[in-house]
Structure 1
Amino acid sequence: MSATAAIHVAKKQLGLDDDTIRDVYERVTGKRSLRDMSSVEQNNVVQELRRGGFKPASVGSRKRLEGKYAAKLQALWIAAWNLGIVTNNDDRALIAFVERQTGLSHVRFLHDAGDAAKAIEALKAWMTREAGVDWAVTFEAAHWQRLPGAQVALAQWQILFKAGPMRERGRDFRSIVAQLAKPLDQMVSEDWPVVMNALGKQIREVKAQ
């Protein structure tokens, strides 16, 4: 797999949107476009994404979902998987779920802005009902509280706290985030997938017991 292909796969796997992945590019290479990078710089980006939790797909893996709004929907689906309310993080499961919830064809919700918005809101509403994700942003909210990744991670922590592991260890949200990534007040969008993936693994382990 080429470096550019690996980066596109990592973007989907880690649930990164366009702005976030470009922030990674800039942090690693000083450039915000793959086309402006040398092959060495592209490989450096791949290594950074590996450090963030990216695991390259095995040979023969299925072609990734295409469409202007695919990345946003995939990011939400992976978040739902990490919340423990999705048992299959495959794109086909995502398509089937959204088609059932909205009655829209995936050809439409992957490419049409209005239909994509309906699909995105349906997913977010479901995540609120099933996992308690609070998407609301108040005027007084800190910067990190305004980030979708933080909103999902906080819901994950609450799930684990209620289930016992976090409460038994006396682990508050701030200390968990600092252990997995960096101090809470320093967290930016690109940092949250690492936290969500780690907490998601713990949630799946708890549910499997």
Structure 2
Amino acid sequence: MNALAAIHVANKQLGLDEDTARDLYQRVTGKRSLRQMNDRELQLVVAAQRHAGFKPAEKGLQGPFAKKLQALWIAAWNLGIIRDRHDAAMLSFVKRQTGIEHTRFLLDAEDAAKAVDALKAWMTREAGVDWRQDVATAEWLRTSGAKIALAQWHRLSVAKAVDPKGFRKFVWDHAKPLDQMLEHDWPAVMNTLGDMVRKAIA
């Protein structure tokens, strides 16, 4: 939100009536009207409101484990085992596993592990993802993305949607040679395979 909108939200959140708000503006910028202020002055008002306790609404997911959980949730969607890929559905799952309302409150590694491990176990049970590291003979197979993509390929093979032996060529066609694949290369492959999996099992 822009500074002007933030100021109005902050006034409401802090319970400031018009005169009290204008007193704040004058104290911070020397001006009683927002219309007379430049961008820098508006930002100074927002800073003063934050100092007084204004907390802007945060958008999206926050917290140290949010990205990992979101990545696993989308992977489960790309494996065809969940129907709703949205963050709200993931947050409901996290709450069921941990009792914690939102990833921004999920600060303890032990609590986060409950949700992470439950998701991984679900992906193993329903889609055959093999998370073990000791069986990965090739370096590229040690990444989570490779493990998920292989499980996707297996699901497609069982559905007779792909040639079981065509995985290496598919990855090369959509990204790069297997032995050059790194973790950040896999999402594009997984997303493409995800479209195919959802069509195959619909």
TM-score for the superposition, normalised by structure 2: 0.66
Map of 2:37 onto structure 1: none
Contact 1:66/1:110, CA 8 A, preserved across alignment: no
Tell me how far 1:86 sits from its aligned partner: 1.1
Query: Does 2:175 correspond to 1:199?
Result: no
Quote the sequence identity (%): 58
Gaps of 5+ in 1: 2-61
1:158 aligned counterpart, secondary structure? helix
Map of 1:68 onto structure 2: 64
Tell me how far 1:65 sits from its aligned partner: 1.0
Map of 1:42 onto structure 2: none
Map of 1:91 onto structure 2: 87
Map of 2:12 onto structure 1: none
Query: Does 2:156 correspond to 1:160?
Result: yes
Larger radius of gyration: 2
Cα 1:174–1:102, aligned 2, differ >3 Å: closer, same or farther?
Answer: same
Map of 2:170 onto structure 1: 176
Alignment RMSD? 2.1
Query: Does 2:133 correspond to 1:133?
Result: no
Which segment drifts farther, 111-120 or 121-130?
A: 111-120
Tell me how far 1:110 sits from its aligned partner: 2.7
Contact 1:180/1:195, CA 8 A, preserved across alignment: yes
Cα 1:81–1:140, aligned 2, differ >3 Å: closer, same or farther?
Answer: closer
Count residues with an aligned counterpart: 146
Match of 2:108 among 112, 118, 131: 112
Which segment drifts farther, 67-76 or 130-139?
A: 130-139
Tell me how far 1:158 sits from its aligned partner: 0.2
Question: Where do residues 8-157 of structure 1 align in structure 2 (5 Å cutoff)?
Answer: 63-106=59-102, 110-138=106-134, 141-157=137-153
Cα 1:109–1:79, aligned 2, differ >3 Å: closer, same or farther?
Answer: farther
Cα 1:83–1:105, aligned 2, differ >3 Å: closer, same or farther?
Answer: same
* C-alpha separation in 2, matches of 1:78 and 1:107: 16
| Alignment-mate amino acid for residue 155 of structure 1 | A
Tell me how far 1:119 sits from its aligned partner: 1.2
Higher relative contact order (CA 8 A, sep 6+): 1
* C-alpha separation in 2, matches of 1:67 and 1:123: 18
Contact 2:80/2:194, CA 8 A, preserved across alignment: yes
Tell me how far 1:191 sits from its aligned partner: 0.5
Cα 1:139–1:181, aligned 2, differ >3 Å: closer, same or farther?
Answer: same
